[in-house]
């Protein structure tokens, strides 16, 4: 059975710089590694963060034997992602201009006929099988927390004002462990797609599936990027597609269906994280994608919180003086 991996990344139509990054490695005939990262944090910061994520994870890959990786793939993915988080934090502390940078990540290892997926943020992984497309990863966003709690319908989530606010990203000192999907046993013809939200935010899942099932893998990744740009191209677009064998000829006639997300089958309860920074705001009905201000620093340097609070002290002192004056006037002035 032949396997393949195809990828494509593009700056999109609204950005001045491509702040996405990706990496792939074929370690053996039955062993493939792939990673997509979507950076954020202002001009230059996003590209530095995403590049650090992919380069750090690929370096971790080079420092472990294939046999060790095979023995415990999830342990390696966890170690590599946490190392990437540490690398982003270190660079953010060393360079004040990059203090608010961060990145998402979705990474996968396919070993024999099993796929291991981990992620942080809203970069996604999908499983495509027999005409169905199913989302593997659950976005770490405020709106997805609202969907899980029943306050927002899933079909409305993409248009919600909080759809781009991340609850988890690399570049947080206290970032929890990455989220792992259930191990997927692959069948001949399966496809694993990893992408940034520049694709998933521009195209519906069934549009993505139609391209992948009806085109060759090489043509599919290019066409997906082109369609994302035609839909607006509000963000950078990155696509990595892993093919587990060839699709049958009948695939062109399969009806395209969106299946239940895989994460719903193994949903583990967890607390809703407070929105953290940096984050992005994106809607498909806007003519332009706007970056929002950071709600904190990615580096977590406590000294910077004092700098951000410095402007409050004159106000507090002024209020204290006014309060004392009123107290003296009321109890002394009126008493006389």
pLDDT at 45 over 80: yes
Q: How confident is the model at residue 282 (pLDDT cuts 50, 70, 90)?
A: very low
In this predicted model, which residue has the larger pLDDT, 335 or 254?
254
Q: Are strands 31-40 and 105-111 parallel, antiparallel or unpaired?
A: antiparallel
Q: How confident is the model at residue 236 (pLDDT cuts 50, 70, 90)?
A: very high
pLDDT score for 201? 93
Question: For the chain, what percent of residues have pLDDT higher than 70?
Answer: 78
pLDDT score for 302? 38
Give the DSSP letter of residue 281.
E
Segment 23-50 shows an average pLDDT of: 92
The residue with tokens 């966890």 is 78
Measured CA to CA in angstroms, residue 26 lies from 30, 63, 118, 202 at distances of 8, 15, 18, 29
Measured CA to CA in angstroms, residue 202 lies from 14, 43, 47, 157, 295 at distances of 13, 22, 21, 13, 26
pLDDT score for 187? 97
pLDDT digits (tens, 9 = 90+) for 84-131: 999 999 999 999 999 999 999 999 999 999 999 999 999 999 999 999
Q: How confident is the model at residue 315 (pLDDT cuts 50, 70, 90)?
A: low
pLDDT score for 292? 25
Q: Which stretches within 260-311 are classed as H helix?
A: 302-309
């Amino acid at each position: 059975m032949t396997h393949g991996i195809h990828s494509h990344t593009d700056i999109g139509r609204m950005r001045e710089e491509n702040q996405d990054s990706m990496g792939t490695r074929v370690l053996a005939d039955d062993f493939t590694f792939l990673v997509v990262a979507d950076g954020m944090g202002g001009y230059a910061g996003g590209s530095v963060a995403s590049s650090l994520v992919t380069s750090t994870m690929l370096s971790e890959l080079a420092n472990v034997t294939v046999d060790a990786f095979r023995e415990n793939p999830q342990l390696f993915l966890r170690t590599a992602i946490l190392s990437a988080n540490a690398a982003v934090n270190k660079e953010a502390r060393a360079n004040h201009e990059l203090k608010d940078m961060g990145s998402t990540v979705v990474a996968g290892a396919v070993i024999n006929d099993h796929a291991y997926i981990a992620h942080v943020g809203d970069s996604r992984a999908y499983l495509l099988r027999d005409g169905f497309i199913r989302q593997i990863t659950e976005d770490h966003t405020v709106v997805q927390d609202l969907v899980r709690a029943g306050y927002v319908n899933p079909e409305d989530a993409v248009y919600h004002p909080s759809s781009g606010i991340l609850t988890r990203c690399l570049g947080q000192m206290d970032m929890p462990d990455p989220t792992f999907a259930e191990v997927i046993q692959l069948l001949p013809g399966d496809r694993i797609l990893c992408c940034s939200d520049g694709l998933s935010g521009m195209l519906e899942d069934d549009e993505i599936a139609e391209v992948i099932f009806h085109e060759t893998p090489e043509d599919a990744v290019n066409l997906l990027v082109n369609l994302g740009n035609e839909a607006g191209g509000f963000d950078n677009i990155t696509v990595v597609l892993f093919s587990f064998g060839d699709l049958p000829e009948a695939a062109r006639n399969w009806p395209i269906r969106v299946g239940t997300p895989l994460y719903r089958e193994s949903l583990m309860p967890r607390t809703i994280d407070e929105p953290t920074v940096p984050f992005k705001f994106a809607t498909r009905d806007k003519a332009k994608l706007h970056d929002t201000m950071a709600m904190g620093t990615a580096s977590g340097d406590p000294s910077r919180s004092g700098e951000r609070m410095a402007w409050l002290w004159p106000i507090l002192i002024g209020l204290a003086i006014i309060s004392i004056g009123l107290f003296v006037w009321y109890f002394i002035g009126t008493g006389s």
